[in-house]
Amino acid sequence: MNRVDRLFAITLILQHKQRVRAQDLARTFEVSERTIYRDMTALSESGVPIVALPGEGYELAEGYFLRPITLTPEEARALFL
């Protein structure tokens, strides 16, 4: 899995779980914890409101969620071509 896919997947995991530890994410994505720390920094710098809770893990700021992506049928077909 490339980094962009992993960053998106991490955001989705955070959106669906209240809190997740770097250790668990590292295991899930088969990367080092250090890589997860860099990913969290990248997400935060890109505007995703990541809350780090020392000794507990990461969570999204209350009320944050990714908006669904709405595509026209033509746009959806173009993604698969």
Specify the pLDDT at position 45. Answer: 96
Specify the pLDDT at position 58. Answer: 96
**CATH code that applies to domain 3-60:** 1.10.10.10
Specify the pLDDT at position 66. Answer: 67
Out of 22-36, 48-62, 63-77, pick the least confident. 63-77
Q: Cα dist. 26→14, 20, 52, 74, 76 in Å?
A: 14, 11, 16, 37, 32
pTM of the model: 0.77
The domain segmentation of the chain, as residue ranges, is 3-60
Residue-wise pLDDT tens digits, 3-21: 999 998 999 899 888 899 9
